[in-house]
């Protein structure tokens, strides 16, 4: 069997330390299941700016295009915030998403039972929570032209961005969402702001048109402000949610926190070609970087998602997910998921515990 090529992009902040644990778990699972994997690394984000002067070097993009799947840590940090926008770390992430056409971002929010008390919501509100946010990732206001900051005739500056979606972009993400709902609880909630924004009025229309092709899925619509409220009021009403780039960015952070910590949530960004990039939903957390304090579980669960969606090793994915559930049942906690009096362990120890549980 030809080895599958995995490219790891650790990035900035806590990126390298969680990637180290993610890679160890990947190596351990490859050994256990005898999976032929070839792991390579490249630079992205601020780490790439420091060495190459730009957040997404050509060599990184080329390596990404040749791989079967990509693992990403996190990008960004205060030391790069004053650079001109095209050179900031975030542009590396947005650039790779766009260049590789990773339009479908899957962000599952799954509550591991032992963490019900780590949520900021009452345990009964979140116990059993299992929802999937599908965020459009290569369009919308993040990429719309024109954009910029200009000085008007009267000397005042004006900033502007453009929120636009083509029908084909809405359809493409819609199909992903309906099909995901078919494999799950068969309920899809499309989130928009159709009462105010024309672009999301079109979004709603297109979703309604697609619904005819998926009679087994129950489609509902919700305005984004209400969706944000419903997520904290009664999150278990949701099965699959689909929304545009910016609303998805915001709602997925909110949903993440329902599960106890954003440090628990993996994500997958998929292209039509099947190529996928896998990363934690959380950011680079520069305030705790390099201190062995970060939670590597979102990274480790991203490895599991990669094995399932891009590498087609579902048993290996399930084994990692089970190992994560096991360490949580054993009571092992990093600081972000600790609750009254729990003993706290570090990033490395958590990674080691997962590997031990695997074997
Ligand atoms: C995310 C992040 C990114 C985004 C940032 C780092 C550009 O918040 O993946 O959710 O806004 O998409
Ligand atoms: Mg975000």
DSSP codes of every residue in 84-142:
-GGGSHHHHHHHHHHHTT--EEEEEEE--GGGGGGSSS-HHHHTT-EEEEEEE-SSGGG
User: With contact defined as beta carbons under 8 Å apart, do 39 and 55 qualify?
Assistant: no
- pLDDT, position 155: 98
Task: Name the maximum alpha-carbon separation found in the chain.
Answer: 68
The answer to whether residue 112 sits within a structural domain is: no
Q: Is residue 30 part of a domain?
A: yes
Q: Are residues 272 and 253 in the same domain?
A: no
Q: Which two tokens stand for residue 351?
A: 């990674």
Angle between helices 58-65 and 89-99 (to 10 degrees): 40
Rounded distance between C-alpha atoms, residue 200 and residue 338, angstroms: 40
Q: What pLDDT, on a 0 to 100 scale, did the predictor assign at position 64? A: 97
Identify whether 38 is part of a domain.
yes
- Are 136 and 252 in the same domain? yes
Q: Are residues 231 and 325 in the same domain?
A: no
H-state helical runs in 159-267? 167-183, 198-211, 224-233, 245-258
Tens digit of pLDDT for each residue in 268-318?
A: 999 999 899 999 999 999 999 999 999 999 999 999 999 999 999 999 999
Range of the domain at 283: 1-107+259-359
142-155 residue pLDDT tens: 999 999 999 999 99
Please say if the pLDDT value at position 1 is more than 80.
no
Helix (H) / strand (E) containing 192? strand 187-192
- Protein residue with its CA nearest to atom 9 in ligand 1: 281
Cα–Cα distances (Å) from 323 to 26, 285, 347, 352, in that order, read 13, 25, 16, 11
Residue nearest to atom 6 of ligand 1 (CA): 90
Rounded Cα distance, 84 and 136, in Å: 26
Q: What is the percent of the chain where pLDDT is above 90?
A: 92
User: Is residue 125 in some structural domain?
Assistant: no
Contact indicator for 283, 289 with CB cutoff of 8 Å: no
> Same domain, yes or no, for 251 and 285?
no
Is residue 186 a contact partner of residue 217, using CB atoms and an 8 Å limit?
A: yes
pTM, full prediction: 0.93
Chain mean pLDDT for the chain:
96
Q: Is the CB of 93 under 6 A from ligand 1?
A: yes
Do residues 97 and 143 share a domain? Answer: no
| Whether the Cβ atoms of residue 63 and residue 7 lie closer than 8 Å to each other | yes
Atom of ligand 1 nearest to the CA of 75: 6
Distance CA 350, CA 98 (A): 33
pLDDT digit string, tens, across residues 238-252: 999 999 999 999 999
pLDDT tens profile 146-201: 999 999 999 999 999 999 999 999 999 999 999 999 999 999 999 999 999 999 99
The verdict on whether residue 79 carries a ligand-binding annotation is yes
168 and 245 part of one domain: yes
Residue 302 DSSP symbol: H
Whether residue 117 lies inside any domain: the answer is no
Active site residue 142: yes
**Cross-strand pairs, 74:** 11
**Token pair of 287 as six digits:** 């305030």
For residue 90 and ligand 1, the question of a CB distance below 6 A is answered with: yes
Mean pLDDT of 29-35: 97
The reply to whether 77 and 11 lie within a common domain is yes
Amino acid 340: pLDDT: 80
Q: What is the mean pLDDT of residues 209-237?
A: 98
Residues 82 and 150 in one domain: no
Tell me which of 77, 90, 254, 265 to substitute to probe ligand 1's pocket, judged by most ligand atoms within 8 Å of the beta carbon: 90
In a domain, 165, yes or no: yes
Query: Distance between CA 41 and CA 15 in Å, rounded?
Result: 13
Best mutation site among 102, 133, 246, 249 for ligand 1 pocket (most ligand atoms within 8 Å of CB): 249
- For the chain, the 3-state helix, strand and coil shares in percent, each to the nearest 5, are 50, 20, 35
pLDDT at residue number 182: 97
Residue 328: both structure tokens together: 């949580």
Task: Examine the fold and report which residue of 210, 240, 257 is the final residue of a domain before the chain moves on.
Answer: 257
Same-domain pairing of 39 and 5: yes
Task: Please identify, by atom number, the ligand 1 atom nearest to the C-alpha of residue 76.
Answer: 6
Residue 155 belongs to domain with CATH number:
3.40.718.10
> At residue 119, does pLDDT exceed 90?
no
Based on the structure, what is the number of domains in the chain? 2
Q: Do 300 and 241 have their domain in common?
A: no
3-state SS, residue 339: coil
The β-bridge partners of 270 are 104, 276
């Amino acid at each position: 069997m030809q080895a599958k090529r995995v490219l790891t992009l650790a990035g900035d902040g806590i990126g390298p330390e969680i990637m180290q644990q993610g890679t160890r778990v990947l190596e351990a699972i490859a050994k256990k299941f005898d999976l032929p994997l070839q792991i390579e690394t490249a630079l992205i984000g601020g780490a790439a700016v420091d060495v190459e002067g730009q957040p997404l070097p050509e060599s990184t993009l080329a390596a990404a295009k040749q791989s079967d799947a990509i693992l990403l840590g996190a990008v960004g940090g205060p030391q790069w915030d004053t650079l001109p926008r095209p050179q900031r770390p975030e542009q590396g992430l947005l650039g790779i998403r766009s260049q590789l056409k990773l339009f479908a971002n899957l962000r599952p929010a799954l509550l591991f039972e032992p963490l019900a008390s780590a949520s900021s919501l009452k345990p009964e509100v979140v116990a059993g929570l299992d929802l999937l946010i599908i965020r459009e990732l290569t369009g919308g206001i993040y990429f719309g032209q024109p954009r910029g900051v200009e000085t008007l005739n009267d000397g005042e500056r004006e900033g502007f961005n453009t929120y636009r979606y083509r029908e084909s972009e809405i359809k493409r993400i819609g199909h992903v969402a309906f099909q995901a709902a078919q494999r799950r609880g068969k309920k899809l909630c499309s989130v928009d702001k159709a009462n105010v924004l024309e672009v999301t009025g079109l979004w709603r229309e297109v979703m309604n048109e697609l619904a005819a092709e998926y009679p087994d899925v129950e489609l509902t619509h919700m305005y984004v402000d209400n969706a944000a409220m419903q997520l904290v009021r009664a999150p278990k009403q949701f099965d699959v949610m689909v929304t545009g780039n910016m609303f998805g960015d915001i709602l997925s952070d909110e949903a993440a926190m329902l599960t106890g910590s954003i440090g628990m949530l993996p994500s997958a960004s998929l292209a039509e070609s099947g190529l996928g990039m896998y990363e934690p939903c959380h950011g680079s957390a520069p305030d705790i970087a390099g201190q062995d304090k970060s939670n590597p579980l979102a990274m480790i669960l991203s490895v599991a998602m990669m094995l399932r969606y891009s590498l087609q090793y579902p048993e290996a994915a399930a084994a990692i997910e089970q190992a994560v559930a096991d360490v949580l049942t054993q009571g092992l906690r990093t600081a972000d998921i600790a609750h009254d009096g729990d003993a706290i362990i570090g990033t490395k120890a958590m990674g080691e515990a997962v590997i031990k549980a695997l074997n």
